[in-house]
Structure 1
Amino acid sequence: MKYFNHKDINSLDKIYRINLINSCSGFKSANLLGTISTKDITNVAVFSSVTHLGSNPPTLGFILRPTTVPRNTYQNIKDLGYFTINHIWEDIIEDAHHTSAKYPDDISEFDMTNLEPEFKGEYKAPFVKNAPVQMSMKFIEEIYVPSNDVMLVVAQIQELYVENELLQNDGLINLSKGNIATINGLDTYAIPKFKKQLSYERPKNIKN
């Protein structure tokens, strides 16, 4: 087994270190965040850091890199207060990944890919058409993490759309039925498959 200590990691080639550390935490969620500017220009961008924070209220968060350079997604969220989260599925992986390219704020990534915006529900933010799971989100707060100079953006689910065949009777969204992608590292995508659903675990009886 290959071993790295803290000194080893810090002395690695930059690209090798980025790939290593971005992949060592395991598979990450693969989502497209949809926003719209005050000038009605749509924006869509891939994020691999969306994570569950709580179920009541239904809250998700994602990590934003330093805002020392323009971040169109962040600016649109702060201006309008709403955005969408859309699961990436197998058929759109290449187009979804291309949204990581840095376009100026007057160009929509929807226009540069085959992704299509979809407007529905109560809030003015574009969904990604045909995404098997879509959520409209309300910005709640941002928490600065000084040790890494990043921001945790916290938002609550306002609307949730789920393809019928993915939703189980117990409320579980079976993502494998929608060929939902996951991200390994920065630029590697995989399609996980359902293996087994286990029951809620309780402690075993302990004998004195």
Structure 2
Amino acid sequence: MDKISKGDILSYPRLYRANLINSLSGYKSANLIGTLSPNGTENLGTFSSVIHLGSDPALLGFILRPPTVPRNTYENLKRSKYYTINHIAKDFLAEAHHCSAKYAEDISEFERTGLTPLYRNDWPAPFVAESPVQLMLKFKEEVPIKVNNTIMIIGEVEAIYLQDGLLQDDGFVNLQKGEVACINGLDAYCLPNQEKRFAYTRPFEMVKEL
């Protein structure tokens, strides 16, 4: 088994180090976050840091890099208080990855990639029409992470839109049916295959497969 020390990590070139460390946490969620600027420009950014924070209320978080340069997603959602999270799927991987490019505030990633903005029920942020899982969130809190000056954004889920057939009888959302992708590292998109699903387990009970 290869060993990589802290000293080794610090000695690596920046891109090599970024590829390495971004791969360590395992497969990550692959999402596009949609916001609307004050002048009406539709913004779309690629994020692999969306995490579940709680179910009651329904809270999701994601990490923003230090706001030392313009961060359109951050600035837009702080102004409007609303944003969308859209799962990336097999049919638009390249278009979704293109949204990680650093476009100026007045350029819409929707227009540059050909993805389709979709508005629902007067929500003030665009969904991605091609996405099989579309979430509307309201900004609730930002948590500064002092060790590296990043920010955790916490939002409450206001509405959920799912492709037909994904929602199961017990509330489980079957992402495999929607061909939802995940990310390995910075730039490798994968399609997970659901092998097994288990029932809630308790001490001294046999694990039951669903």
Structures share fold, TM-score greater than 0.5 = yes
Q: Deviations over 1:1-58 (max 9, x none)?
A: 1101212211122211110100011000000000001111100111000000000000
SS at match of 1:67: coil
SS at match of 2:77: helix
SS at match of 2:112: coil
The ranges of structure 1 where at least 4 consecutive aligned residues each deviate by more than 4 angstroms after the TM superposition are none
Write out aligned runs for 1:72-151 (5 A). 72-151=72-151
Aligned residue type for 2:111: D
Which residue is 1:19 aligned to?
19
Aligned residue type for 1:66: P
Q: CA deviation at 1:164?
A: 2.2
Which residue is 2:2 aligned to?
2
Which residue is 1:155 aligned to?
155
Q: CA deviation at 1:169?
A: 0.5
Matched, 1:188 2:203: no
Q: Deviations over 1:48-83 (max 9, x none)?
A: 000000000000000000100000010000110000
Q: Deviations over 1:115-161 (max 9, x none)?
A: 01000024210000031110000000100001011000000000001
SS at match of 2:21: helix
Q: Determine if contact 2:115/2:130 at 8 Å carries over to the other structure.
A: no
Aligned residue type for 2:196: K
Partners in 1 of 2:94 and 2:40 — Cα distance? Answer: 25
TM-score normalised according to structure 1 size? 0.96
Partners in 1 of 2:75 and 2:33 — Cα distance? Answer: 13
SS at match of 1:103: coil
Which residue is 1:40 aligned to?
40
Which residue is 2:199 aligned to?
199
Q: Please tell me the root mean square deviation across aligned C-alpha atoms, in Å.
A: 0.9
Aligned residue type for 2:169: N
TM-score normalised according to structure 2 size? 0.96
Partners in 2 of 1:6 and 1:118 — Cα distance? Answer: 46
Partners in 2 of 1:79 and 1:177 — Cα distance? Answer: 35
Write out aligned runs for 1:52-67 (5 A). 52-67=52-67
**Where do 5+ consecutive residues of structure 2 fail to align?**
206-210
Aligned residue type for 1:45: G
Partners in 1 of 2:80 and 2:70 — Cα distance? Answer: 17
Q: Determine if contact 2:182/2:192 at 8 Å carries over to the other structure.
A: yes
Partners in 2 of 1:76 and 1:18 — Cα distance? Answer: 27
Aligned residue type for 1:11: S
Which residue is 2:174 aligned to?
174
SS at match of 2:3: coil
